[in-house]
Amino acid sequence: MLGKYSVQGVQGIAAERTKKVAEIIQKSGGKVNAMYALLGCYDAALVVDFPGNTDAMKASIAITKLTGIGFTTFPALPIEEFDKILG
């Protein structure tokens, strides 16, 4: 998940909010593998695992409501699974 701060999002930066984001991901069935602050086109990167796209979408909306950060989510497959699909 790549995030871009809004004005509201920047004003609310806090370690406590980051913990709440991780809790939202877990409550949505996901697992946080890593979180990064970025410089450039995006401000945040969250490497997460979800059971499915619906769970990721639910978490993304909840995080945006909490933080004011807009996220773009990129579903991904391990290359081994991709190779199996291609047969």
Domain-by-domain residue ranges, the chain? 2-86
Q: What is the pTM of this model?
A: 0.85
Q: Hey, which CATH number is domain 2-86, 2.60.40, 3.30.70, 3.40.50, 3.30.750? A: 3.30.70
Contacts of 38 (CB under 8 A, 6+ apart): 2, 44, 45
**In this predicted model, what pLDDT tens digit does every residue of 22-77 receive, in sequence order?**
999 999 999 999 999 999 999 999 999 999 999 999 999 999 999 999 999 988 88
Q: Are 80 and 72 in contact (CB under 8 A)?
A: no
Rounded to a whole number of angstroms, the CA Rg of the chain reads: 14
List the alpha helices (DSSP H) in 1-87.
7-11, 15-27, 53-67, 79-86
**In this predicted model, what pLDDT tens digit does every residue of 45-57 receive, in sequence order?**
999 999 999 999 9
Q: Are 35 and 66 in contact (CB under 8 A)?
A: no
